[in-house]
A and B are shown apart, each in its own frame.
Chain A
């Protein structure tokens, strides 16, 4: 029976190798070449990376990507937790509210981004009634809107994950705390929150990885203007607008390495018992 194991795993491993490992290796290899649509490939070693390091646009994109990931994930977690607590409470019409909270998550990102773009259009958008700021040409507002749009869109996802976590917490534990004289605040901080950690950690893990790959919101709303360029958008520009394949591959490699680093960090921090899901 032991011998059967590798054979049973083989189809999955082969699929993974073909669909993930080979293309990743291919992109890493390509990133070592200077290759454009106009010129034949020429080996330059780490030359593309050196150029990226010197490019202020890349530097700004890395920084805004980090700002975007940090801000939106933290906000999504906090707001998602609040929403999950509301959804967990028993009240009339809870089903309706649960469905309503999920709506933004059900809208495709591109469509959601268009909605936000229309809202903040400085000639005919809804917000022109509130203020005459030219939203997308102001770096502060442009960045804020991109982040707000992402939080609005993805908060339901974290809320749902956290809600699932809340539902695994037995009422007995809460009741025991109440009998011991703990008020709602203490019950939340000392009982609910510690028991929610696995769910919160999983939500953070998923969202961080996702947020690093942000592209569509920026592509639709700002096309990278006003300091909202993110790494993935820069990669798109290099590959599709400029036909600069070596540079594009190098940017993809940087994104890959960033996400891989984060993943290792997370997997290390998550206790092994959680990873084995042995609750």
Chain B
């Protein structure tokens, strides 16, 4: 009797509302501790919200495949996520994104770098919030290179002079595997020669690609770069085997971390070179915070978007991960400048970073570009000839014919 009464009493006690659990899908971060701390602080600020991070693949196209699968299935365990700067048009057209115009006023939007804000604005609506800005940068060994090269040809000459003295070194590494990074790397070469990529390569573009094929990959960079992405090409530089290296901003932190890099403290940073008569061009990259339109927890997700795109978190994550902040003011912050003096000069690179072609069908467009560019770079005809393809099938057919013949004899 007493027990029943006790249970009854417990049931009538006012209950704590159950915490809301937000599911946040992002790539695997390089500095996980920094993220964990930032998200824990968010939970302390909003005691009713718990953030559960799901780490997807680091590769952009694999994360894309994962996200589209989940969004199409209206996965209930997906509230907000990071999207690449080239996806907003596609995702918005598919109706996957919950617009967040009301979250940032016109005034506030001006505080972000213009490139990503433009990418995140689809048909006049803000569909995602810039989280970080990436721009291609030139890393170099400042113990070997006296002055950063202004032009691509200077880079090749300097690299040749240095590798003549240090035969164990490669001149340059970048990202030339057949994937999205190939488009970014070659766009920088092509546009810095005044060429264009879409709808088709023009003469100046062909010229730049031919230069990369004949003068860069092979003579300066190892042919292995044709199979390398960010991580592998960076590793060569971190191991002290490359003079020049092209990568995104967060490489700065990694390259100067003595636990991960043999060249810590010997790394210089500069805008990418250009061709004679052209101007330096960096591809605009970076990630955006987006909210799933099917999520029932959109209000809570908005709080997290605001928090992550806010000045304090942007500054903290910049200090801790060296990613390029989406708010330009973070680059003027004295604490940030004290840690990363190069931001003073790099800020203009971030402002000028150029977007890739914009289209709701970007994935298809990029795939065609990769196909074309990779074939040109490798100089290999990748079409399959009919005879070698069909001959083995003919042998197979003959085998079947032989084996099935005369079984009854």
Chain A residues in the interface with B (C-beta under 8 A):
36-39, 56-57, 59-60, 63-64, 66-67, 69-71, 73-74, 77, 121-123, 132, 134-139, 194, 197-198, 200-201, 204, 208, 223-227, 237, 240-244, 265-266, 269-271, 273-274
Contact = CB atoms under 8 A, between A and B. Distances in A.
Given A37-B90, A67-B388, A200 B403 contact: yes
B404 interface: yes
Interface in B370-405: 371, 374, 378, 380-386, 388-396, 399-401, 403-404
13 contacts: A66-B393, A67-B390, A69-B396, A70-B392, A74-B396, A123-B222, A132-B223, A139-B380, A226-B178, A227-B384, A242-B363, A271-B407, A273-B407
Contact of A269 (B177, B360, B401): B401
- Using C-beta atoms within 8 Å of the partner chain, give the interface range for chain B: 35 or more
A138 B379 CA distance: 9
Contacts of A121: 224, 227
A77 B392 CA distance: 13
A138 B90 CA distance: 33
Given A64-B389, A200-B403, A242-B363, 19 more contacts: A38-B93, A38-B360, A39-B93, A64-B384, A67-B388, A67-B393, A69-B393, A70-B391, A73-B396, A121-B227, A198-B407, A224-B178, A225-B177, A225-B374, A226-B380, A226-B382, A243-B68, A243-B72, A270-B404
B386 to A, nearest CB: 6
A271 B408 contact: yes
Contact of A74 (B224, B232, B395): B395
Contacts of B178: 223-226
B367 A241 contact: yes
A230 to B, nearest CB: 11
Contacts of B382: 60, 139, 225-227
Contacts of A197: 403-404, 407
Contacts of A225: 177-178, 374, 382
A252 to B, nearest CB: 16
B31 interface: no
Q: Among B179, B232, B367, B393, which residue has the most Cβ atoms of chain A within 10 A?
A: B393
Contacts of B364: 242, 244
A210 B224 CA distance: 32
B61 A241 contact: yes
Q: Among B93, B384, B386, which residue has the most Cβ atoms of chain A within 10 A?
A: B384
A241 B363 contact: yes
A29 to B, nearest CB: 18
B36 interface: no
Given A122-B223, A242-B361, A243-B90, A137 B393 contact: no
A138 B378 contact: yes
B64 interface: yes
A211 B90 CA distance: 34
Q: Among B94, B361, B392, which residue has the most Cβ atoms of chain A within 10 A?
A: B392
A39 B93 CA distance: 8
Contact of A226 (B61, B64, B378): B378
B258 to A, nearest CB: 22
The 7 closest A-B pairs by CB, nearest first: A70-B392, A227-B382, A269-B404, A38-B93, A225-B178, A137-B226, A63-B389
A137 B380 CA distance: 8
Given A122-B223, A122-B227, A271-B408, A38 B94 contact: yes
Interface of B: 61, 64-65, 68-69, 72, 90, 93-94, 96, 177-179, 222-224, 226-228, 232, 236, 360-361, 363-364, 367, 371, 374, 378, 380-386, 388-396, 399-401, 403-404, 406-408
B34 to A, nearest CB: 29
A74 B392 contact: yes
B74 to A, nearest CB: 13
Given A67-B389, A271-B404, A243 B94 contact: yes
Nearest to A77: B399
B380 A138 contact: yes
Nearest to B59: A223
A200 to B, nearest CB: 5
A80 B68 CA distance: 42
Contacts of B226: 122, 134, 136-137
Contacts of B224: 121-123, 134
B395 A60 contact: no
A275 to B, nearest CB: 11
Nearest to A137: B226
A153 B406 CA distance: 32
Contact of B227 (A59, A136, A241, A274): A136
B331 to A, nearest CB: 34
B361 to A, nearest CB: 7
B383 A227 contact: yes
Contacts of A39: 93
Nearest to B364: A242
A266 B400 contact: yes
A201 B400 contact: yes
A137 B404 CA distance: 40
A201 B403 contact: yes
Contacts of A71: 392
Given A225-B374, A240-B68, A139 B400 contact: no
Contact of A123 (B69, B236, B361, B363): B236
B93 A70 contact: no
Contacts of A73: 396
A37 B74 CA distance: 13
Contacts of A271: 404, 407-408
Contacts of B367: 237, 241-242
